[in-house]
């Protein structure tokens, strides 16, 4: 088994590509060992000293390490070993009977803005999310109010130093181009 590794814009996160499907649909994120309990793979990754977060996409795994604890040359071999051991064991990525949790965070927007929100969601799905997934992360719509779009960054994008620039210069400009009523984009 050959696992490719890619740097992400977040220096604390590496993207691992095991050359196979990780999750056939949806995503999974664990920000601590307790959150990882629904996934044997996430549990194994959190056993690696210094790992503070994992994110699974369709065909990639993003792993975040703590700053200053260990550097990637020390952490990366153990992460690669945990991923390889997991896939060679044939165990599922998620524990038996575990479904991906539905995001229970309610979206907020005025019903009068329904068409604007539909366009925002379409732009996110078709233009933004594929690019963000390429960097080992995800971005989801949370709300729209008074010309401000509220988005949540996940995976490698969560806590990334360049995520503010991505939101301001990339996503905000894209939305403004198609939707003049959008004044600003904020991460929540």
Mean pLDDT by 10 residues, the chain (188 residues): 89 93 90 92 95 93 86 93 95 76 73 94 90 82 93 78 75 92 90
Question: With helix as H, strand as E and coil as C, how does the chain read?
Answer: CCCEEEECCCCCEEEEECCCCCCCCCCEEECCCCHHHHCHHHHHHHCCCCEEEEEECCCCEEEEECCCCCCHHHHHHHHHHHHHHHHHHCCCCCCCCCCCCCCCCCCEECHHHHHHHHHHHHHHHHHHHHHHHHCCEEEEEEEEECCEEEEEEEECCCCCCCHHHHHHHHHHHHHHHHCCCCCEEEEC
Q: Please tell me the predicted confidence (pLDDT) of residue 115.
A: 94
Sheet holding 4-7, edge to edge: 4-7, 13-17, 61-65, 51-56, 28-30
Residue 171: CA count within 13 A, CB half-sphere: 33
Q: What is the pTM of this model?
A: 0.78
Neighbours of 133 (CB within 10 A): 21
Q: Please tell me the predicted confidence (pLDDT) of residue 98.
A: 62
- Residues 135 and 157: beta-carbon distance below 8 Å: yes
Q: Please tell me the predicted confidence (pLDDT) of residue 102.
A: 52
Cα separation, 163 vs 165, whole angstroms:
5
Q: Please tell me the predicted confidence (pLDDT) of residue 105.
A: 67
Q: Please tell me the predicted confidence (pLDDT) of residue 85.
A: 95
């Amino acid at each position: 088994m050959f696992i490719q590794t890619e740097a992400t814009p977040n220096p604390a996160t590496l993207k691992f590509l095991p050359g196979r499907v990780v999750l056939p649909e949806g995503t999974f994120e664990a920000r601590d060992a307790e959150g990882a309990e629904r996934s044997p793979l996430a549990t194994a990754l959190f056993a690696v000293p210094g790992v503070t977060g994992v994110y699974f996409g369709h065909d990639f795994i993003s792993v975040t390490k703590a700053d200053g604890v260990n550097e990637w040359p020390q952490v990366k071999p153990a992460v690669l070993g945990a991923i390889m051991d997991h896939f060679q064991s044939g165990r599922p990525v998620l524990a038996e009977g575990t479904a991906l949790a539905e995001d229970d965070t309610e979206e907020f927007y005025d019903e009068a803005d329904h068409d604007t929100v539909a366009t925002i969601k379409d732009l996110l799905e078709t233009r933004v999310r594929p690019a963000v997934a390429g960097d080992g992360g995800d971005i989801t719509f949370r709300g729209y109010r008074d010309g401000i779009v509220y988005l949540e960054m996940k995976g490698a994008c969560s806590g990334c130093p360049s995520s503010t620039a991505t939101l301001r210069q990339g996503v905000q400009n894209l939305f403004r181009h198609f939707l003049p009523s959008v004044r600003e984009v904020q991460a929540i």
